[in-house]
Amino acid sequence: MTNDDFLRELHDPDIPVPEGMTSAIAVTSFGKLLNAIYNWGRRNSIWPMSFGLACCAIEMIATASSRFDQARFGMEVLRASPRQADLMIVSGTVTKKMVVPIVRLYNQMAEPKYVLAMGACAIGGGPFKEGYNVVSGIDKYVPVDVYVPGCPPTPQALLHGFMILQKKIDGQSLGNPNSTPWYGRGPSDPVPVPILGPDIIDPRQAHILRRQAEATQAAPDVAEAGDDAEAQV
């Protein structure tokens, strides 16, 4: 049986419940049961990456303290390696110099992985928006699943963001490739790492920059041709 056949049969309501399970648990279909178990295991074992950028990271540290205790949500295992983490909390101001390692760390995380933008700076630049060295939102470079506004957000707000992420995980289905793209036919493409030069450049926008450069170079040629025509007249 191929992977597509398995996913197709996963939500078939005519699939019989395995023998021995009917007396132990009441289910409507085996596919729903499998999704429930799969999502339950992931939502209660999220491992955030111990990664902080600025003042919002202090609130993230406070959330892990005994007063708020994020261990109640199964998120107390902070991992120092991106290869062992499945949640990146972007907590703080994202500068153009820092967005390069952020994208690199995101690519090193294994699927399924999620991103939580914590604070006004990570969401849209905050008070430093339009600054010469600040990115106006981390969602311009990596996909963000949950936004937690505030400057900085309180630990209670971050805990609410965790619960929103858990609700999103509960809504994912193994039979829907759009909600679980990491079970596709092949590996997912990594996010292009931005290029840091005189300014930050997103490789995904290279064709736009190239077109603008060509238009800028063509403008002086047109102006010079107009001047020559006026001189001849």
Closest CA to 135 of 172, 105, 98: 98
Phi, then psi, of 114 in degrees rounded to 5: -135, 155
Q: Check residue 67 and give its pLDDT.
A: 85
**Which architecture, in CATH terms, is 56-183?**
3-Layer(aba) Sandwich (3.40)
Q: What is the pLDDT of residue 197?
A: 75
What tokens does 217 get? Answer: 């170079």
What residues does each domain of the chain span?
Answer: 3-43, 56-183, 202-232
Q: What is the pLDDT of residue 220?
A: 64
Which among 1, 6, 42, 7 is positioned nearest to 175, based on CA atoms?
A: 7
The structure's pTM equals 0.74
Task: Let me know: does 33 contact 64? Beta carbons within 8 Å.
Answer: no
Q: What is the pLDDT along the chain (233 residues), one digit of tens a residue?
A: 555 555 555 555 455 556 655 555 555 566 677 888 888 888 888 999 988 899 999 999 898 888 888 888 888 888 889 999 999 999 999 999 999 999 999 999 988 899 999 999 999 998 888 788 899 899 999 999 999 999 989 999 999 999 999 999 988 887 777 777 777 766 778 888 888 877 788 888 777 777 887 888 876 655 555 555 555 55
